[in-house]
Amino acid sequence: MTAFAWPIDQIRRQFPGLARAQQGRTVAFFDGPAGSQVPDSVVEAVCHWLRHTNCNRGAAFECGRESDAVLQAAHEAMADFLGADDPDCIIFGPNMTSLAMLLSRSLADRWKSGDEILVTRLDHDANVSPWVHAARVAGATVRHVDLNPGDWTLNLDDFQAKLSERTRFLAVGMASNATGTINPVREMISAAHAVGALTFVDAVHYAPHGRISVADLNCDFLACSAYKFFGPHEGILWGRRELLESLRPWKLRPAPDVLPGMWMTGTGALEAIAGTAAAVNYLASLADLLPQTSPDLTRRQKLDLTFRAITEWERILSLEMLAGLKSVPGLQIHGITDPAHVAGRVPTFSWTFPDCSPRTVSEWLAERGLCVWNGNAYALPFTETAGLEPGGTVRAGALHYNTIEEIERLTSALRQFRN
C-alpha cells in the first residue's frame, strides 16, 4: 500500500509543531480542517518581516520599499497558487469570512427582487450566510441545493432544478469541511454561466489537498485561507479583474481606487501576508523532494507536481482511514464510504456513535494525544440537514504530513474506546 515514495520524514522535520509530545508520545494532529501546522520557513518569514521590514505600505524609505517588495511577491505567489494570471486580482484580508462579507455587500448592489441566489447545504456557513444577508438587503430570494441522503453528496438533479434564468449567483465549495466530499465545481460553474449567473468558489477546505486553477475552473471569484494550507491566519480572495473593478467595494475615501488596494480594507496583517507567500513556497519546494522533479521547473510547475503527489499520498491515507473507521463497532461515517469512490473525497472524516456524544469521543482521544475536532465546524447547513445537531460529529482530517501509523493509532484507540 505504501509503494508510493512520499518523503514523509523530510516533510515532518520541517514542522516544529509536529514534534509535540504528550505522556512520552508524539501528538497526532488530525485537526488540519480547523487549521494546519506550519513549517519553519513560514515561521521564519513572519518573524523576518517583523524584524526587518516592519513598515506600512507605500513608504518612501528603504525599509518600506523592502516591505512593499515582500508584499508584492506575496500577490505573485498567490497568483501562482491559484493559477491566476494577474497578481493584482489577489486580495488579502483577515479571513475568508470577512472577504465574503465584504464582497457580498457590493454584489447586493446588483441584485433585486425576483433575482435568485443559489447556495448549497454542503457548504460551510461562511459560503452561505454572507450571501443570505446580501440577498435580504437586495430583496432577492435564496435557494438551497439539497443533499443525497446516504453519502450526503450534492444532489445535482436538485441543483439543475433550482438553477434558472432568475439565478444571479452560485456559491459552492470545492470540498466539504464536514464530509470531505469534492464537489463537481467546474460543471456547476459552467451550468451557472449558461444561465448568466456569477459564481463564487469556497476553496478553503480544498486548498491544502489539491491544485487549484481559477482559469481551469472558469469561476468569477474564489476564496481560501492560508491557515488551512500551512500558512498564517490570512484570507485570500481572487476575482476577475473586470468584476473587481466594476463592483463598488465598501472602502475608505483615501484608500486606493485601483486593484488590489481598493478591496483591501484597512491595514492588513502584513506579516501574515509575508507568511502566506512562504507557505506557497514551502508547497512548491516539496517538488524538489520528488523523483520526478527537474531543476528548471517554474513555481507553478512545482506546485502541479507537489499537488499530484499530495493527492496520491492522501488517497492512501483516505483508504487507511476508511478501513480503520469501518472496523470500529457502531461508528457511522457521514460522507463517501465506498473505497471505489475515494477520489471523490479528501481525507476529512466525520462520524458519530449512536450512544455517545462527539465531545465525549474527542475528549477521550485527546487524553491519548489524538487531536480531533467535535461539533458542526460551522458546516451547519449539513449538520442540520443530516439531523446531527446539536452535537455535530467527531471530525478527523489528515493532511500531507500525517502518517499511516497515526491513522492506525487513531482507529485502534477508537476500537479500544468501544470495548
Ligand X SMILES: Cc1ncc(COP(=O)(O)O)c(C=O)c1O
Dihedral pair phi/psi, residue 352, rounded to 5°: -140, 165
- The residue among 169 and 353 lying less far from ligand X, judged by its C-beta, is 169
Total of chain residues touching ligand X, rule CB under 6 A = 13
Of 122-130, 242-250, 325-333, 395-403, the window that binds ligand X (rule: CB under 6 A) is 122-130
Taking phi over 0 as left and psi of -120 to 50 as alpha, with beta for the rest, 24 belongs to left
Q: Which three cell numbers stand for residue 164?
A: 434558472
Q: Which three cell numbers stand for residue 226?
A: 492560508
Tell me phi and psi for residue 234, to 5 degrees. -155, 135
Q: In the block, which residue shows the cell 448592489?
A: 109
Region from 53-61, 94-102, 109-117, 386-394 binding ligand X, contact rule CB under 6 A: 94-102
167 is an interface residue for ligand X by CB under 6 A: no
Least CB distance to ligand X at residue 275 (A): 14
404: Cβ contacts below 8 Å, ≥ 6 apart: 1, 2, 316, 317, 320
Taking residues 215 to 234 in sequence order and writing x for each that binds ligand X by CB under 6 A, - otherwise, the string is ----------x---------
Give alpha helix (H) positions in 247-379: 270-286, 299-326, 358-366
Q: Which residue has the cell 465545481?
A: 185
| Distance between CA atoms of residues 13 and 175, nearest Å | 28
Q: Write down the least CB distance from residue 165 to ligand X, Å.
A: 29
Give 397's strand partners.
Answer: 31, 348
CB of 287 to ligand X, least distance (A): 26
Minimum distance between the CB of residue 285 and ligand X, rounded to whole angstroms? 24
Residue number, 235 or 249, with CB nearest to ligand X: 235
The grid coordinates listed for 87 are 497578481
Q: What angle do CA 21, 310, 182 make, to 5 degrees?
A: 105
By beta-carbon proximity to ligand X, the closer residue of 31 and 287 is 31
**Of these, 205, 299, 400, 409, which contacts ligand X (CB under 6 A)?**
205
Rounded to a whole number, what is the distance in angstroms from the first to the last CA of the chain? 28
* Shortest spacing between CB 91 and ligand X, in angstroms: 13
Q: Quick one: which of 344, 326, 350 has its CA closest to 153? A: 344
Our CB check for ligand X shows the closer of 231 and 235 to be: 235
If one asks whether residue 204 binds ligand X (CB under 6 A), the answer comes out as yes
Three-class SS of residue 142?
strand
The binder of ligand X chosen from 95, 106, 374, 393 (CB under 6 A): 95
Q: Are strands 198-202 and 221-225 parallel, antiparallel or unpaired?
A: parallel
Regarding 275 and contact with ligand X (CB under 6 A), the answer is: no
Nearer to ligand X, 97 or 403 (CB): 97
Q: Does position 126 bind ligand X by CB under 6 A?
A: yes
The reply to whether 124 sits near ligand X by the rule CB under 6 A is yes
235 binds ligand X (CB under 6 A): yes
Of 70, 71, 82, 96, which lies in the binding site for ligand X, with binding defined by CB under 6 A?
Answer: 96
Q: Which stretch binds ligand X (CB under 6 A): 2-10, 93-101, 341-349, 393-401?
A: 93-101
CB of 356 to ligand X, least distance (A): 25
Report in angstroms how near the CB of residue 97 gets to ligand X at its nearest. 3
Rounded CA separation 392/377 (Å): 8
How crowded is the C-beta side of 380, counted as CA atoms within 13 Å?
7
Provide, rounded to whole angstroms, the least separation between the CB of residue 269 and ligand X: 12
173 binds ligand X (CB under 6 A): yes
Q: Tell me whether residue 140 or residue 236 sits nearer to ligand X (CB atom).
A: 236
**Could you tell me if 25 and 369 are in contact, meaning their C-beta atoms sit under 8 angstroms apart?**
yes
Q: Does residue 347 touch ligand X according to CB under 6 A?
A: no
Q: Which positions from 174 to 193 touch ligand X by CB under 6 A, shown as an x/- string?
A: ---x----------------
Alpha carbon 357 to chain centroid, angstroms: 27
What is the chain's alpha carbon radius of gyration, rounded to the nearest angstrom? 21
Which residues of the shown chain bind ligand X in the complex (CB under 6 A)? 95-97, 124, 126-127, 173, 177, 202, 204-205, 225, 235
